Amino acid sequence: MDPEVRRIVKALVVATAIFFAYRIIVGYFVPPPPPPATAPVESGGAGPAAPLPPGIPPTTDEAPASTEPGAAPPALGPASAPRVIEATADEGPITLRGREGDALRIELRQTGGSLATIWLMSRKRDGRFAYRRSLDSDDPYVLISPVDDGYRVHNSFRTARVWIRERGNQEYLLDQALWRVVDASDEAAVFETELRTADDQPRLRLRKRFALRPGAPIVDFSLELENTSGAALTVWVEQDGPLGMPEEDPAHDMRKLLAAQLNKQRSAVVLNAAQMHKALLDAARQRTTVRMDVPEKGPLAWTALTNKYFGVFTRPLPQSGDSVDYIASLVGTVADLNYSGDSFHHPGDLVARISTMPASLAAGQSQRYAFEICAGPKDPKYLRQVDPAYGSGGTVDFALALSADQTCMCTFGWLVHLMTWLLDGIHALVRNYGIAIIILVIIMRTALHPLAVWQQKSMFRTQEAMARLKPKIDDLKQRYANDKVTLNKEMMRLFSEENVNPAGTFMSMLPMMIQMPILVALWAALNSDIHLRHAPFDGWWIRDLSAPDAFIRFNPPVDVPILSAIPLLGWMFSGVRSINILPVLMGVSMWLQQKYMPKPHLDAAKEAARQRAASGQPAKPASGMSPEEQIRQQQMIAYMMSIMFPLMFYSMPAGLNLYWLATNVFGIGESLLIKRQLDEEKRRRAELGPQPPAPRQPGVISRMMKRMAEQAEELQRKADEISKLDEVRKREAKQAARPAKKKS
């Protein structure tokens, strides 16, 4: 390493060590400050109003009622001042515990007639919860919970609004209304509320029912509207889905809203939307929403709120037949407009809102909407056990939510599933996912070893030959600097005489391109496999392969001075939660791999420089860098890569870092083995002495390049002929013009 670079690296290491040591010492003696209280901020309601469903144009017979949340309705007489008959008192949360061994426990609230909390209650054979809240906790995982913005509490599955077409589109806000408890048990609960006019004339009775399905992670939810007036009414509803899901991975928030629709043949579901928080928050601040369904694609199959491993799927059930025909639109929004933090760590307020089609109800008639709420892991195997239709390729196919996280341009979905299947299969034998990751890396790299050997040997031969020919190529470039066609012709002749394929370097990259989808698929499988959650490697250092190894934790997270303010790169040094050792080891392994990787072009460049010096020519070519400068540049690139990759992977799960570390260690051994083979081949050639190049048939690329050079030469020859003809015509025209001038 260059002395100046060494001094800079040492200074950075010492400064960073002093800073982290200071943070550790201060953390022991100075407790973190309490979080500031959130001041109430006035808000117009629980989010922007969705657009009116198709078929309901804005009313023009009277001044239209405002659809802004919280806006006072215009004075249109008795019918325009709606009232919601609420419960006289809040009886507190209602907990549906279900039967012994049920997969879910839920808590209901009267506010909005909502579902506030879902716990995952499945247990392992040892009696512990299968999905725990945290690594060191024995509490069940809380899948959704209320979101408190300091002004109001937002719950899941609240009925946001009801619209009645009566002398204008009358809006009844129900998200904060206190619903009456009609019936409650350990397995089901029923809420009810009534809508009346200002003069106490009945309009609608709404009834909501939540019921645990025995033995399944499913909540049956229904909303019933009954026309209690003496006349026909046209009504439609805005019904919210789940919200308040934890982010699961604090470093990389993967929470999103999804929507799936039946295809035109209605035989499968097509995932068509995945809205992230920033887009929804920006839209909500502008009092708009993000449309998630595409009417041209067919009926809505389901919508879901998911994080890295879990999801809550809301599936509307058909009223008759096999398809759902009462959904007018599905929009995405945020429940908490008062939130002003960054888009990477939001409070979990993503919510999908379903608007129903307008329903005409005669006096005394009812309309019922039924939904199936499935809550739990996105694991296809788990979903298939719940219901075969929920698994991959089923008629419902909730497993598409996992595919949304595994989608990558560099690989294929079936390859990701294959890597997941192999990982789980190896774990069934060794019973340790850390060891399973290492074994899987060894298996994959061993299978790809012949390609790697061919790649490096091919690159070695090509680069060595190109470096050997570089003096002749430089001479040709100087000799034919102004004649590109002749230069290309002479270079192709040189390559043909020396039996060198100039496209060999590109061809040697093909094995790497073949390997890339496999390695990326393995990475995607590790990043989304729920079986790695809370799975230890050694039990004392790497206790959770789905989280950073966190050798030393910081509470609260810290920003590294100066480095956190660097444009574009500052995010790597902001919000550091712990000192992680695995990324550092990965960086060291990357540096060692770069160091021991064969560098035939540099060796050949050194030999060419030695030959030039022996013949009295300057060791450094007229254009380009000397071998020493090339080596120094290669070392600098290796140092930068060894620093940048650990920074990018610093907050990644330990399983991913372990995967890259194992890959690099295998690569070091592979490079040493190939380097020894190349050295043996070089020694054998040196013993044999200079040998004439063995004749061989030119490859496809060589033939194509030769043909292109011949075509270019032919085109240039024709262009030269045309140019000569033009010159002849011009001379003849000038000669013909001279006698005419003399006569005049």
Using one digit for the tens of pLDDT, what is the confidence trace for 323-339? 788 999 999 888 876 65
pLDDT of residue 80: 44
Tell me phi and psi for residue 736, to 5 degrees: -70, -30
Q: Kindly report, residue by residue over 442-482, the tens digit of the pLDDT.
A: 998 888 888 778 777 777 777 677 767 777 877 888 888 77
Tell me phi and psi for residue 160, to 5 degrees: -75, -50
Of 255-269, 366-380, 678-692, give the lowest mean pLDDT range.
678-692
Same domain flag for 722 and 608: no
pLDDT of residue 54: 45
pLDDT of residue 87: 78
Quick check: 62 pLDDT over 60? no
Which segments within 155-299 are labelled E, that is strand? 159-165, 169-173, 180-184, 188-196, 202-212, 218-227, 233-240, 256-262, 269-275, 290-291
Q: Which residue type sits at 373? A: I
- Give the DSSP letter of residue 58: P
Structure confidence at residue 641 as a pLDDT band (50, 70, 90)? confident
pLDDT of residue 13: 67
| 145 dihedral zone (left: phi>0; alpha: psi -120 to 50; beta) | beta
Tell me phi and psi for residue 193, to 5 degrees: -150, 165
Same domain flag for 298 and 422: no
Choice between 30 and 460, residue whose per-residue pLDDT is larger: 460
Mean predicted confidence (pLDDT) in 617-635: 62
Instruction: Take residue 467 and report the two structure tokens written for it.
Output: 């470096």
* Packing angle, helices 413-430 and 433-447, rounded to 10: 120
Of 407, 427, 446, which residue constitutes the final position of a domain? 407
Instruction: State how beta strands 169-173 and 180-184 pair.
Output: unpaired
Listed in sequence order, the DSSP H helices in 303-386 are 380-386
Q: Kindly report, residue by residue over 416-441, the tens digit of the pLDDT.
A: 888 888 999 999 999 999 999 999 98
Kindly state the percentage of the chain with pLDDT values over 70: 75
Choice between 591 and 742, residue whose per-residue pLDDT is larger: 591
pLDDT of residue 554: 81
Measured at the CA of 373, the angle between CA 367 and CA 375, to 5 degrees, comes to 170
Structure confidence at residue 70 as a pLDDT band (50, 70, 90)? very low
Same domain flag for 374 and 300: yes
Residue 70 covered by a domain: no
Of 407, 432, 447, which residue constitutes the final position of a domain? 407
Choice between 476 and 531, residue whose per-residue pLDDT is larger: 531
What 3-state DSSP class applies to 172?
strand
Quick check: 12 pLDDT over 70? no
Same domain flag for 258 and 299: yes
Radius of gyration of the chain (CA): 35
Same domain flag for 270 and 181: yes
pLDDT of residue 59: 43
Q: Which of 377-381, 513-517, 604-608, 730-734 has the highest mean pLDDT?
A: 377-381
CATH of the domain at 112: 2.70.98.90
Of 380, 407, 434, which residue constitutes the final position of a domain? 407
Same domain flag for 176 and 206: yes
Same domain flag for 182 and 245: yes
Structure confidence at residue 286 as a pLDDT band (50, 70, 90)? confident
pLDDT of residue 8: 60
Q: Of 478, 480, 497, 500, nearest to 488 (Cα)?
A: 480
Residue 263 covered by a domain: yes
pLDDT of residue 67: 42
Cα–Cα distance for residue pair 397/421, rounded to 1 Å: 18
Same domain flag for 283 and 371: yes
- Give the DSSP letter of residue 503: T
pLDDT of residue 228: 93
Same domain flag for 281 and 193: yes
Cα–Cα distance for residue pair 545/528, rounded to 1 Å: 12
Quick check: 171 pLDDT over 90? no
602, 631 in Cβ contact below 8 A? yes
Residue 558 covered by a domain: yes
Q: Of 371, 391, 383, 388, nearest to 217 (Cα)?
A: 383
Same domain flag for 510 and 386: no
Domain count, the chain: 3
For all residues of the chain together, what is the average pLDDT? Answer: 78
Residue 501 covered by a domain: yes
Quick check: 188 pLDDT over 90? yes
Cα–Cα distance for residue pair 541/543, rounded to 1 Å: 6
Q: Which of 25-39, 357-371, 438-452 has the highest mean pLDDT?
A: 357-371
pLDDT of residue 5: 56
pLDDT of residue 89: 78
pLDDT of residue 412: 82
549, 14 in Cβ contact below 8 A? no
10-17 contacts: CB < 8 A, separation 24 or more?
16/560
Residue 249 covered by a domain: yes
Choice between 605 and 335, residue whose per-residue pLDDT is larger: 335
Same domain flag for 599 and 728: no
Cα–Cα distance for residue pair 578/562, rounded to 1 Å: 18
Same domain flag for 403 and 451: no
pLDDT of residue 222: 96
Mean predicted confidence (pLDDT) in 499-510: 62
pLDDT of residue 57: 44
Of 353-362, 470-479, 578-587, 610-619, give the lowest mean pLDDT range.
610-619
Q: Of 205, 262, 257, nearest to 235 (Cα)?
A: 205
pLDDT of residue 686: 75
Q: Which residue type sits at 401? A: A
The set of residues, in sequence order, having a beta carbon less than 8 Å from that of 61 and lying 6+ positions away, is 167, 168
Of 9-13, 212-216, 531-535, 630-634, give the lowest mean pLDDT range.
9-13
Tell me phi and psi for residue 577, to 5 degrees: -95, -20
348, 257 in Cβ contact below 8 A? no
Structure confidence at residue 510 as a pLDDT band (50, 70, 90)? low
pLDDT of residue 165: 87
Residue 695 covered by a domain: no
Residue 40 covered by a domain: no
* Residue ranges making up the domain that contains 102: 78-407
Q: How far is CA 266 from the centre of its chain?
A: 28
Q: Of 122, 93, 118, nearest to 312 (Cα)?
A: 118
- Give the DSSP letter of residue 533: T
Residue 680 covered by a domain: yes
317, 371 in Cβ contact below 8 A? yes
pLDDT of residue 665: 92
